[in-house]
Amino acid sequence: MNLRRLGAIARKESIHIHRDPRSLGLAIGIPMLMILLFGYALTLDVDHVPLVVWDQSGTTQSREFVAQFTGSRYFDFRGALSRYAELARAIDRRDALLALVIPPDFAAQLDAGRTTRVQAIIDGSDSNTAAIVLGYAQAATTLFNQRIALAQIRRFTGRPAAPPFELRPRVWFNADLESKNFIIPGLIAIIMGLIAALLTSLTIAREWERGTMEQLISTPVKAPELIIGKLVPYFVIGMVDMLIAVLMGVFLFHVPLRGSVPLLFAMAALFIIGTLAQGILISVLARGQLLASQVAMVSTFLPAFLLSGFMFAIANMPPVVQAITYVVPARYFVALVKGIYLRGVGLETLWVDAVFLAVFAGVVLALSIFTFKKRLA
C-alpha cells in the first residue's frame, strides 16, 4: 500500500467535502438535531398520571386514601366525579389514565377491621404505561394499608408496632431512575451508526454517477488505497460527531460519564470504522446514490433501533430474533457505551463486546476492499 497515493485520495475526498458545505453541515447538524429531538421527546418516565376519583364514601378515611395518591408526584388529580358515566367519559377522552371508585361502605368496613375493595380502572390502550400506572397504584395502596394496619395494632395493644423487617433499596448506576440516563448513551450509538453509514454510502456511487470513476480506474491507485483513502476524512467527521454527542449528553442532558473517556472514544473509533466500511460496501454494490442511501438507512438505523438492546431488552425477544442480534454491530457498541457511561467499567468486563466490534470492523473493511474491482462494469 502506497501512503502517498492513499493520502492523495484522502485529500481529494476532503476537497470534495470542503466544496460541499451543505453536506458537511448536515453531517454535523443531523446528529445534534437527532440527539435533541430524541433526548427530549423519547422518555420512559411516567409522571403526573391524570387521576379522577368517584368517592361514594365521602369520609375522612376515603379522603386520606385519595391523599395517598394526590400527594405523590406520580399522580395529577383531575377532579372528583359523581357518576360512573362521567368516569367512562374521562377515560374515553384521555382526560384520565386512572380512575378510583371508592365504595359507600369504605369507612365502615375499615372500622370493623374487614377487607374493603376499591376499584381502580386503568386505560390499557398503552400496555407499558398501564403496567407502570398499575405499579404506582399498588404501591400507594400498600402504603395506605400499612398505615391502617399499624394504627389498628396500636389501638388494640396500646403501643406502637414495628414492622418485622424494613427494605432499604439502593439503586446503582442510575439512582434517580431517570430514563434519559438510559436513553442518551444508547442513542449516541444509534446515531453514530446511522450517520457513519450514510456519509460513505454515497462516495463510490457518486463517482460512478458523475463519470469520475473511469479516471480513478486509469490511475495506479489500488483498491485498498482508494477505499481507505475515502474513509479517512469521514472518520474524522465521525469522531467530531462523537465528541459533540458526548458533550451534549454530559453538559446538556447531565448524563454522568463515569468510565474512561479514552476507552469510550477508542471503542467509538472501532464502531465508526466498521460502519463507514459498511457504507462503502453498500456504495460499491449499489452504484447509485439513491439506492445506496436507502439501503444504508434500512441496514443501520432499523436493526440498531430494534435489535441492539437500546430500547427493547434482547433477553425478552424470541430465540430466533436473539440469534439475529449477534450480527448487529450496534448491539456491542450499545453495551460498550452503556457500560462505560453508566457503570464505569473497563475492558476487563467489556472485552467480549470490544472483540466482536473489532472483528466486525475488520471483516466489513476487508469485504469492501475485496468487492471493489478496478474495472468498468
Q: Say whether pLDDT at 262 is over 90.
A: yes
**CA-based nearest residue to 337, from 255, 279, 274:** 255
What are the backbone angles phi and psi of residue 320, rounded to the nearest 5°? -65, -45
Q: Say whether pLDDT at 53 is over 90.
A: yes
Give me the residue label for grid cell 444508547: 186
Amino acid 50: pLDDT: 93
Amino acid 376: pLDDT: 47
Percent of the chain scored above 70 by pLDDT?
Answer: 93
What does the DSSP 8-state code read for residue 241? H
Instruction: Locate CATH 3.40.1710.10 in the chain.
Output: 49-157
Residues 333-358 have a mean pLDDT of 91
Please tell me which residue, 242 or 28, carries the higher pLDDT value.
242
**CA-based nearest residue to 31, from 272, 226, 362:** 272
Residues 6+ apart with CB under 8 A from 184: 35, 39, 249, 253, 255
pLDDT of 79-123, one tens digit each?
898 888 898 899 988 889 999 999 999 888 888 778 888 999 999
Residues 6+ apart with CB under 8 A from 102: 53, 54, 55, 56, 57, 62, 65, 66, 118
Let me know: does 49 contact 95? Beta carbons within 8 Å.
no
**CA-based nearest residue to 139, from 120, 113, 161, 116:** 120
- CATH number for region 49-157: 3.40.1710.10
Signed CA dihedral, 216, 222, 226, 229: sign only: negative
Amino acid at 152: Q
**Per-chain mean pLDDT for the chain:** 84
Q: What is the 3-state secondary structure (H, E, C) of 197-240?
A: HHHHCCHHHHHHHHCCHHHHHCCCCCHHHHHHHHHHHHHHHHHH
Burial tier of 63 (Cβ tally within 10 Å: 0-12, 13-18, 19+): middle
Amino acid 228: pLDDT: 87
**CA-based nearest residue to 340, from 274, 268, 263, 266:** 263
Q: Which residues pair with 49 in a beta bridge?
A: 75
Q: Give the separation between CA 9 and CA 57, rounded to whole angstroms.
A: 81
Q: Say whether pLDDT at 333 is over 60.
A: yes
Q: Give the separation between CA 270 and CA 208, rounded to whole angstroms.
A: 28
- 257 SS3 class: coil
Amino acid 174: pLDDT: 78
Burial tier of 204 (Cβ tally within 10 Å: 0-12, 13-18, 19+): buried
Q: What is the 3-state secondary structure (H, E, C) of 305-369?
A: HHHCCCCCCHHHCCHHHHHHHHHCHHHHHHHHHHHHHHHCCCHHHHHHHHHHHHHHHHHHHHHHH
Q: Give the separation between CA 331 and CA 308, rounded to whole angstroms.
A: 4
**CA-based nearest residue to 149, from 160, 136, 135:** 160
Q: Give the separation between CA 295 and CA 283, rounded to whole angstroms.
A: 9
pLDDT of 23-33, one tens digit each?
777 778 888 88
Burial tier of 55 (Cβ tally within 10 Å: 0-12, 13-18, 19+): buried
pLDDT of 267-320, one tens digit each?
999 999 999 898 888 888 877 777 888 888 888 888 888 888 887 888 888 999
Give the global pTM: 0.79
Q: Say whether pLDDT at 238 is over 80.
A: yes
Amino acid 211: pLDDT: 67
Grid cell digits, residue 109: 368496613
pLDDT of 111-169, one tens digit each?
877 888 899 999 988 888 888 899 889 988 888 888 877 777 666 666 666 666 667 77
Grid cell digits, residue 367: 469485504
Q: Say whether pLDDT at 213 is over 60.
A: yes
Distances (CA, A) of 16 to 6, 49, 91, 92, 196: 16, 53, 57, 56, 17
Tell how strand 119-122 and strand 98-102 pair up. antiparallel
Amino acid 374: pLDDT: 56
Q: Give the separation between CA 102 and CA 106, rounded to whole angstroms.
A: 7
Q: Which helix (H) or strand (E) holds 45?
A: none
Task: Please report the DSSP string for 115-147 in residue order.
Answer: ----EEEE--SSHHHHHHHHHHHHHHHHHHHHH
